Structure 1
């Protein structure tokens, strides 16, 4: 039986983040995705292609759209490498701080707690936003300013006294971060490349986000986290559908899966294969993860009774504005121009201090492809647009055939005939804090849901009233989703089923996603959400997965990596041996902070403390410039031709007491160095850090860094750096402790040999204030007396600063 460190099931916002973090930290990771990869240019467009773009292996369909029909709601999710990011509308909004409800009674008398807070997630929101390239729609720049639907939403919000924003979108509008936006520009690959090996181009405003972006403009998970995971050695396997999971005798877990090799075969029965792992991360989505746990429940005795509970659709509601007019003239809204979503109107919540407001919600502009451009491709329909649209919707609604009262072709055709897809019409997308009182379970071996709009009636009525108000402002007719008269909704944001909680009576997993009673089994996707997120939930799911991975890595050493060797640090430093990225027995993470440039929030405590000792760790990120061919750091920082240089390190003192007591205050430094144009991001093979080392004068201290790495041509290099903490007024504390003077040396050079070493480059790095604020949240301890060790460290740090910057005693 194949055995690996970690198996991740699913490649959506939870699974992709988890796979990347584990692979980046040097773990052997296999990711199993049931769907196919979709490089730019491969997404279906013609009616024939769209007719086969659904997921139903029993009928020989292995496409992207997975449509579920339940009591009270229908749902569309994705099957493919990148999960829901392939078809979502790119919005990356954070869950509102006050909406993390901790003691709210539900209609059944139970509580709907969020065992996490906004403060817990904020550092992880930061890194996900940076990795996903979050940026608002550039409405102030031509040609993006010519987007009628966005201006219309702003006008309506102003008239109704509501707040309208341009939410962060995971879309590339410029060729590279910080560049000027433009249409169809070639996108510069990130340092980790692209797993598809196909070029990408910036957004051309075609409105095709929800059916797959053939330009590659969307910064979907396959272009970001999954490409980075593969770069770090993750084994990504597509067309692998997991059928069952169970604990493994002796520890770990076993996974049964099938490999779909013939993507045209009906009712194919590929053989079931089994692999085992030490850690198992479930990221198959709300439906997939809950279904696997329900189906495998007999193998998990003692699994929480909360399994299947707190299901909801995040308050999703789709409506339409039709035939908008301005002074009896057609008002163009042109929903087909732009990304699918460009703006968001926020409805306040009672929790925001607005009495009587009810539950909070968001209303966002919708979009759709230019049907005349893509629906007729390959077919001779002439001008019969209505016929083409009916064809698509008929094929789509065939997949609701097993559910009563869901044949919507007539209603949808009537709606389309009334002008839903004309230049003066606009879909509206609502979402918010509906009631998470639904339940998922198995019926005849299939996943079923019991959920109703009745207990969320106040939410839906409020959203509909506001949408009607928007219609009035824009001179448009308001039209409900055709299913609304049956009180059914379509949700693309299903949540819950395996919710987190403070104890097994409240949730299936804890606040970090680890399943109660089953160490090493984690839930990383929307199934873990204990209630509605409110805004689009993708960012919150990804941030929670990042937080989960941080906790997972705190106590799990890496066993594998990118080829570095075990390097021993002299035992008299108080540091443990460094586990390089290739060390089979390493205790560290090597390049545990891989490819983003935002603060991770810290994997602190990555090495297990030696018995009886308490380890202390924190992360630090510094950025700046060096110039090659100069030897003076100050000159190198400002010289023409300077190049960017940055690093992110985990500083670990394996024995905190010894670290504080010894005069050199030596700790281990692990992480990466990113040298622009000289090999990019490279792992630190061995590193040391010294805090407040005396250097001659009584009122002078140095913070010293020595990092061994190799450049892009595998030539050994040493980063030698120091912070000069010199007596002066207290206003000098920040600039002195946040400024690092560095030299890059040829070879791996010990401190005592540095005077004769060749200097390759020199410059200055700095800690940004925001990065420093995040750094303060990364301190971790492992071992007995952790809190006391932190206090002693704080007193030592403050005391040393007082010695240097305090008033003269004479």
Structure 2
């Protein structure tokens, strides 16, 4: 394939893939005004277009070399088989809608894996919680309305609750990304028209509420699933994102002068078999990989020679998130058939949680979840019309090919074509009630390239205790329900089928630990981000979709803060904010779709804005960096030290991008003032709120002008204006006290901020007499400080020289305060 000779296109950012990582990233960047191109290899699937007939299902697989451009991409590796999606919306098209957060205690740090190595999570639940909130709101997370007619008539849900109660297990109705009502807060009912969100619908096709047909995993033809095409991608398109389907990225590489290049093909003719479309190239300043665990790892592995110094962790910590599929058959109650009706309801309605030893349960082992499964109601018709003779012949051929694959040096790891042949003119189905298990398996698998093919070395043996525990619990559920228990037919070879592959480009604290940092940026390659499941350093435990999306939202926040938009740029009318509260699926907030506040303040994010601070004149150099501080305040307290320790204290944090638009002027003026943009997160008082106006002063000498002053102390001052969740104006006034003493005081002094919250927007000269509503202390954690050092950016001439000037000033001021007395 030769590359097209036409002029190369350049954009601010390219996002590869439209799953839970790519869709969130594309929306956040487009909402902030960036010129974004999203490339999705698959097709769009509006409601009503998902395959249902035998002929359609036979071609519903992805293998372009064989003329297949469908939705299901099936893989076979050593130790596991896997099903992922190809289409606009990625895995959300075929997942079962569950939005569970990763358990707080399951964010392990440096725990040994059974097969050696470690599973470090460089982030915590607290880091992700604000982003979990934003994603849940955007996807319209709501539990199954089991207490309302007609949803109360769901036998499988009641059966799971009965079994859990009998066995003393915790059972919940997990949040689902499904519209049961026509608008948020409405009364649930079947097949109601769904009101479009303010950002509209990318397909322009009407949607209807859930009708309990059990078709979630093969695509919802009613549009009741709040999948990514109906939510994040529709919002991204509303904000100007250029979404290109049937565009498959083939290679990536750094670009001379900065940024990245991508080679891609456009599958313009979906009827072509073994076609070779021309290779085109696009360039960008920022590249976000969201092609899914396999797609992202494959791109990086295939392009590795172009990325010298890429971490040796590439390909490692692969796992299937503990996925295990089993079946309950012929359930009975007092010798009478107990109906489970697996085809009634969404695919998953309940979640039984098995505790982890990390939860304080000695000997429990690794935690897990067991959920009810389902299948489409129309499969009864498929069974009745199935060609038994032809199916037997195809099945024998399929099994024989799988057997001979075991002895080949280079087995075919892509089974899409083979399964397409196996189905023929019919479709595979299951009977009775499937059970779905998942949990904290060992992330000790490795993804590699072998003769150009992606391979995975993974075994269930190192996770045997987890699988034994899950299977025994499932057998106990079967006993309670009077059902026969049946393993997945592949289990006799200790193989699993996973729909949740994770890892391959894991996050870590340093390049020896991971491919990317805790925000998804690849070590050694600024502007290259990993937004999807490949970045997970180990199993999530519950269904990982929500955690991947929250990671992408957090990643986008850091990306935008490290490259702030032009000062004075405004948001477009009708825009939908990001982390401060995205508009829920299928419903509206304010009439124009806007919600108070932006995650980046009033000066951020219009289309056409630059990537770096650009308010300085062309002959001046700006400098910016990002700072995170976290701690506690007590409302009603006026003394910061007392407020940090009081019994009724509440968490408070902020993240700021601090920008000096003219470094020379910043260093020369005695106030050393810069602007501060970002957010304040006040728990219980509106959560994350944008900074409407903020200033930062570095190393102010409070004794300047005094006869005997200017030596013993410096102050770092922060003043942030924001509005809390109840519409009350607030001012965060903070000071770091850098006082003369031994060098051991440098870290505690420069990492401790004493804060007071004032009622109203209060200037420094107005504090006397202003009402103090809260006081406390914030700190920089060592890990956050290490990340802060990587966020320094300059824009303008002589950037390196100006950065060195800033460093010399910083060190000189510390010497002034902490250096030895020479007189």
Q: 1:659 to 1:165 in 2, by over 3 A?
A: farther
Which residue number in structure 2 is paired with residue 605 of structure 1? Answer: 657
- Pair 1:619 & 2:679 matched: yes
What's 1:505 paired with?
A: 512
Is 1:554 the counterpart of 2:583? The answer is no
2:755 maps to which residue?
794
User: Cα distance, 1:264 vs. partner?
Assistant: 1.2
Match of 1:651 in 2: 692
Q: Tell me the number of residue pairs that the alignment of Structure 1 and Structure 2 aligns.
A: 651
C-alpha distance 779-144 of structure 1, shift in aligned 2 (>3 A): farther
Write the distance in 1 (CA, Å) between the matches of 2:725 and 2:356: 41
Q: 1:352–1:584: structure 2 CA closer, same or farther, 3 Å change rule?
A: closer
Q: Say if 1:523 and 1:395 are closer, same or farther in 2 by CA, change over 3 A.
A: farther
**What is the CA distance between 1:136 and its match in structure 2?**
0.3
Contact 1:315–1:532 (Cα < 8 Å) also in 2: yes
TM-score of the pair, normalised by structure 1: 0.73
Matched, 1:472 2:438: no
Q: 1:37 to 1:789 in 2, by over 3 A?
A: farther
Whole-Å Cα distance in 1 between the matches of residues 700 and 31 of structure 2? 28
Closer, same or farther in 2 for the Cα pair 1:409/1:658, shift >3 Å?
closer
**What is the rounded CA distance, in whole Å, between the counterparts of 1:3 and 1:138 in structure 2?**
48
Contact 1:173 1:181 in 2 (8 A): yes
C-alpha distance in structure 2 between counterparts of 1:401 and 1:509, whole Å: 36
Partner SS, residue 254 of structure 1: strand
State the Cα distance separating 1:558 from its structure 2 match.
3.1
Deviation at 1:587, TM superposition (A): 6.6
Displacement of 1:386 = 7.5
Which whole-Å CA distance do the structure 2 matches of 1:262 and 1:355 have between them? 58
Secondary structure of 2:309's counterpart equals: coil
Would you say the 8 A contact 1:577–1:587 is kept in 2?
no
**Structure 1 residues 224, 442: closer, same or farther in 2, change over 3 A?**
same
Cα distance in structure 1, aligned partners of 2:72 and 2:38: 20
Secondary structure of 1:204 counterpart? coil
Deviation at 1:604, TM superposition (A): 3.7
- Judging changes above 3 Å, is the alpha-carbon distance between structure 1 residues 806 and 312 closer, same or farther for their aligned structure 2 residues? closer
Structure-2 residue corresponding to 1:57:
64
In 1, Cα distance between the equivalents of 2:194 and 2:701? Answer: 48
Is 1:272 aligned to residue 279 of structure 2? yes
Structure 1 window deviating more from structure 2 (788-797 vs 541-550): it is 788-797
Per-residue deviation at 1:252? Answer: 0.6
Distance 1:392 1:128 in 2: 47
State whether residues 173 and 183 of structure 1, in contact with CA within 8 Å, keep that contact through their aligned partners in structure 2.
yes
Whether the 8 Å contact between 1:67 and 1:399 is mirrored in structure 2 is: no
- Kept after mapping to 2: 8 A contact 1:47/1:392: no
1:84 to 64, 70, 91: 91
In the TM superposition, 1:587-602 aligns within 5 A as none
**Aligned residues of 2:141 and 2:178 also touching (Cα < 8 A):** yes
Hey, what's the Cα distance between the residues in 1 that align with 2:444 and 2:245?
A: 34
**What are the Cα deviations for residues 320-369 of structure 1, in whole angstroms up to 9, with x where unaligned?**
00000000000000000000000000001111111111110000000000
SS at match of 2:206: coil
Q: Which structure 2 residues correspond to residues 299-338 of structure 1 after superposition, within 5 A?
A: 299-338=306-345
Alignment correspondent of 2:769: 803
Q: Could you tell me how far 1:579 is from its partner in structure 2?
A: 6.0
Distance 1:490 1:40 in 2: 28
Gap regions ≥5 residues in structure 2: 1-7, 407-414, 574-599, 616-651, 667-672, 703-717, 737-745, 774-823
- Separation in 2 of the partners of 1:53 and 1:94? 31
Distance in 2 separating the partners of 1:69 and 1:509: 27
The separation in 1 between residues aligned to 2:396 and 2:356, in whole angstroms, is 39
Report the Cα offset of residue 175 of structure 1.
Answer: 0.5
The alignment's C-alpha RMSD in Å is 4.1
Counterpart in the other structure of 2:216: 209
Change (3 A) 1:213 1:738: closer
Distance 2:317 2:480 in 1: 37
Q: Unaligned 5+ residue runs, structure 1?
A: 565-574, 591-599, 623-645, 662-689, 693-702, 706-722, 724-736, 740-764
**CA 1:580/1:242 → structure 2, altered by over 3 Å: closer, same or farther?**
closer
Match of 1:671 in 2: none
Q: In 2, Cα distance between the equivalents of 1:253 and 1:786?
A: 38
Q: 1:589 to 1:329 in 2, by over 3 A?
A: farther
TM-score, normalisation: structure 2: 0.72
In the TM superposition, residue 396 of structure 1 has moved relative to its aligned partner by 13
| Structure-to-structure mapping, 1:150-165, within 5 angstroms | 150-165=157-172
The answer as to whether partners of 2:155 and 2:339 remain within 8 angstroms in 1 is yes
Tell me what 1:444 maps to. 451
